[in-house]
């Protein structure tokens, strides 16, 4: 729980000063550190009391963006708060979920938006680490610390993430003074990640998959009640369809989904279905669900 009197960006005010504690001596722009070289969970009293509005505060916690408890490293010194940005750099980021998907549309739109450098990768949004995105965010922070305004431009917010993941990333950008901009989609435009509209829309986008899945299951049940069979034919069955739907929700390619499935009956028992069979099974399922739901 946040301590009364401490606001979300107070850490920036604290970090505008070098830490006067001899055992810490963290330079401006970096969080306080422990004697064991870890990021401290809160700033040293002697440091945050250099900020007049925090002089009587009991403690100022280190925000999550600084990763308390992790190995301490020196960060770029902050730009003087009174200094206006000199110049403006627009960095771009593009992402596709699978190797089979094309990045051409994203890359073209970023180029047309005046982006000077584009980071791109083909990796699922569920991946724990996205190297190119991390590199883009790091470079954006370094450029901003030199006094240049920076905008991270993305074709659509879903390329960055969904829900709380997206909110956390934009908070990290905010901590570095970097503004996100989306060229299309429901969050089109430039946004202040601390704004209530952005937060609500990001949270809504995080439930999109859940809504789609719920509608699919409702349609499936509706089809069953009408005596209609939902699923593929031939080598496919209900268990295979259920597994395929689950893997599709994880943004796996048809080829990868096919490798996870096993035919359980017939002359091809024990073999994997072809990607074309998986595509046909999923397409027929979607068509039957849509028909049952509208009838």
Q: Which residues are catalytic?
A: 97
Instruction: Report how far residue 187's alpha carbon sits from residue 36's, in angstroms, rounded to the nearest whole number.
Output: 43
Residues 121-158, buried b or exposed e (16+ Cβ, 10 A)? Answer: bebebeeeebebbeebbebbbebbbeeebbbbbbbbbb
Strands 189-190 and 88-96: unpaired
Strands 179-182 and 149-154: parallel
Strands 117-122 and 88-96: parallel
Q: Where are the alpha helices (DSSP H) in 32-87?
A: 45-48
Cβ pair 43, 62 in contact under 8 A: yes
């Amino acid at each position: 729980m946040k301590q009364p009197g401490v606001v979300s960006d107070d850490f920036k005010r604290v970090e505008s000063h070098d830490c006067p504690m001899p055992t810490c001596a963290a330079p401006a722009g970096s969080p306080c550190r422990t004697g064991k070289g870890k990021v401290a969970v809160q700033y040293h009293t002697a440091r945050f009391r250099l900020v007049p509005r925090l002089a009587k505060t009991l403690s100022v916690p280190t925000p999550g963006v600084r990763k308390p408890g992790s190995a301490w490293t020196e960060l770029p010194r902050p730009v003087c708060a009174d200094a206006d940005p000199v110049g403006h750099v627009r960095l771009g980021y593009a992402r596709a979920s699978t190797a089979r998907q094309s990045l051409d549309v994203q890359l073209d739109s970023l180029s047309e938006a005046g982006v000077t450098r584009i980071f791109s990768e083909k990796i699922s949004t569920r991946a724990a680490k996205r190297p190119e995105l991390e590199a883009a965010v790091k470079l954006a922070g370094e450029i901003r610390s030199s006094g240049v305004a920076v905008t991270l431009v993305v074709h659509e917010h879903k390329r960055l993430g969904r829900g709380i993941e997206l909110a956390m990333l934009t908070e990290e950008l905010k901590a570095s003074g970097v503004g996100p901009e989306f060229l299309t989609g429901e969050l089109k435009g430039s946004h202040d990640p601390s704004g209530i509209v952005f937060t609500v829309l990001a949270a809504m986008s995080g439930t999109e998959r859940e809504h789609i899945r719920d509608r699919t299951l409702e349609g499936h049940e509706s089809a069953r009640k009408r005596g209609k069979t939902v699923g593929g034919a031939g080598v496919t069955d209900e268990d295979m369809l259920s597994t395929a739907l689950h893997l599709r929700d994880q943004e796996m390619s048809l080829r990868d989904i096919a490798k996870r499935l096993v035919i359980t009956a017939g002359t091809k028992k024990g073999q994997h279905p072809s990607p074309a069979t998986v595509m046909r099974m999923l397409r027929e399922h979607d068509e039957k669900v849509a028909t049952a739901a509208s009838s």
